[in-house]
Amino acid sequence: MATKVQTPAGTKAAEGLTNEEILRYSRHLIMPEVGMEGQLKLKNAKVLLVGTGGLGAPLGLYLAAAGVGKLGLVDFDVVDFTNLQRQVTFGSSDVGKPKSEAARARLSNLNPDIQVQAFETKLTSENALELFKDFDIIVDGTDNFPTRYLVNDACVLLGKPNVYGSIFRFEGQVTIFGMPGGPCYRCLYPEPPPPGLVPSCAEGGVLGVLPGIVGSIQAMETIKLVLGSGRNLTGRLLLFDALEMGFREFKLRKNPKCPMCGEHRTIDKLIDYYEFCGVRGEEAPAPDLKVPEMTPRELKARLDRGEDLFILDVREPHEYQICNLRGHLIPLGELPRRVHELDSSREIVAHCRSGKRSAEAVDFLRKAGFRKIVNLKGGILAWSDEVDASVPKY
Amino acid sequence: MAVKVLIPPPLRPHAGGQAAAEFAAKNVEEALGQLTSEFAGLKRHLFTEEGRLRSFVNVYVNGEDIRYLAQEKTPTKDGDTINIIPSIAGGAPENGAKGSRAARVGMTDQAV
Set of chain B residues whose Cβ sits within 8 Å of the Cβ of A53: 91-94
Q: pLDDT tens for residues A82-109?
A: 999 999 999 999 999 999 999 999 999 9
Set of chain A residues whose Cβ sits within 8 Å of the Cβ of B93: 53-54, 143, 167, 204-206
Q: What is the mean pLDDT of residues A129-149?
A: 95
Q: pLDDT tens for residues A18-40?
A: 999 999 999 999 999 999 999 99
B58 has a chain A CB within 8 A of its CB: yes
Q: What is the mean pLDDT of residues A342-365?
A: 93
Residue-averaged pLDDT of chain B = 81
List, in order, residues 6 or more apart from A286 with CB less than 8 Å away: none
What's the sign of the alpha-carbon dihedral A67, A49, A152, A169?
positive
Of B8, B56, B104, the CB nearest to A143: B104
Best residue of A143, A186, A351 to probe chain B, by most B CBs closer than 10 Å: A143
Task: Please judge whether A250 and B65 are an interchain contact, meaning their C-beta atoms are less than 8 angstroms apart.
Answer: yes
Task: Please judge whether B13 and A203 are an interchain contact, meaning their C-beta atoms are less than 8 angstroms apart.
Answer: yes
SS3 B23: strand
Task: Please judge whether A253 and B90 are an interchain contact, meaning their C-beta atoms are less than 8 angstroms apart.
Answer: no
pLDDT band at A288 (very low <50, low <70, confident <90, very high): low
Task: Please judge whether A78 and B108 are an interchain contact, meaning their C-beta atoms are less than 8 angstroms apart.
Answer: no
Task: Please judge whether B98 and A194 are an interchain contact, meaning their C-beta atoms are less than 8 angstroms apart.
Answer: no
What is the reported pLDDT for A7? 42
Nearest chain B residue (CA) to A272: B103
Task: Please judge whether B105 and A145 are an interchain contact, meaning their C-beta atoms are less than 8 angstroms apart.
Answer: yes
CB A356 within 8 A of CB A332: no
What is the reported pLDDT for A195? 66
SS3 B112: coil
Instruction: Among A15-24, A110-119, A197-206, name the one with the lowest average pLDDT.
Output: A197-206
Q: pLDDT tens for residues A224-275?
A: 999 999 999 999 999 999 988 999 999 999 999 999 999 999 999 999 998 8
What is the reported pLDDT for A168? 86
Task: Please judge whether B100 and A274 are an interchain contact, meaning their C-beta atoms are less than 8 angstroms apart.
Answer: yes
CA distance A68 to B33: 50
How would you class A369 by CB atoms within 10 Å of its CB: exposed for 0-12, middle for 13-18, buried for 19 or more?
exposed
Set of chain A residues whose Cβ sits within 8 Å of the Cβ of B108: 143-145, 168
pLDDT band at A194 (very low <50, low <70, confident <90, very high): confident
CA dihedral A20, A23, A26, A28 (to 10 degrees): -30
CA distance A386 to B22: 50
B9 has a chain A CB within 8 A of its CB: yes
Counted across chains A and B, CB pairs separated by less than 8 A come out at 196
Our CA-based measurement puts residue A1 at a distance from the nearest CA of chain B, in whole angstroms, of 38
Task: Please judge whether A252 and B65 are an interchain contact, meaning their C-beta atoms are less than 8 angstroms apart.
Answer: yes
- Model confidence at A287: pLDDT above 60: no
What is the reported pLDDT for A3? 43
B106 has a chain A CB within 8 A of its CB: yes
- Model confidence at A4: pLDDT above 80: no
- Model confidence at A197: pLDDT above 80: no
Set of chain B residues whose Cβ sits within 8 Å of the Cβ of A142: 89, 91-92
Q: What is the mean pLDDT of residues A46-72?
A: 97
The ipTM of this complex is 0.79
What is the reported pLDDT for B1? 62
Domains of chain A: 45-278 (3.40.50.720), 293-386 (3.40.250.10)
Our CA-based measurement puts residue A82 at a distance from the nearest CA of chain B, in whole angstroms, of 7
Domains of chain B: 3-104 (3.10.20.30)
Percent of chain A with pLDDT over 90: 80
CB count within 10 Å of CB A335 equals 20
pTM for the model: 0.81
Of B44, B45, B93, the CB nearest to A206: B93
Task: Please choose, from the candidates A338, A43, A77, A243, the residue with its C-alpha nearest in 3D space to the C-alpha of residue B18.
Answer: A243
What is the reported pLDDT for A15? 62
Adjacent-strand bridge partners of A294 = A376
Catalogue the active-site residues of A: 201, 352
Nearest chain A residue (CA) to B104: A144
Q: pLDDT tens for residues B30-73?
A: 999 999 999 988 888 899 888 889 988 999 999 999 999 999 99
Task: Please judge whether B97 and A354 are an interchain contact, meaning their C-beta atoms are less than 8 angstroms apart.
Answer: yes
Set of chain B residues whose Cβ sits within 8 Å of the Cβ of A320: none
- Model confidence at B97: pLDDT above 60: no
Q: What is the mean pLDDT of residues B81-110?
A: 55
Set of chain A residues whose Cβ sits within 8 Å of the Cβ of B48: 282
Task: Please choose, from the candidates A279, A288, A285, A283, the residue with its C-alpha nearest in 3D space to the C-alpha of residue A356.
Answer: A288
Set of chain A residues whose Cβ sits within 8 Å of the Cβ of B53: none
CA distance A312 to A361: 9
CA distance B70 to B59: 11
| Interstrand relation of A347-351 and A246-251 (parallel, antiparallel or unpaired) | unpaired
What is the reported pLDDT for A275? 86
SS3 B5: strand
What is the reported pLDDT for A211? 95
- Model confidence at B101: pLDDT above 80: no
Residue-averaged pLDDT of chain A = 90
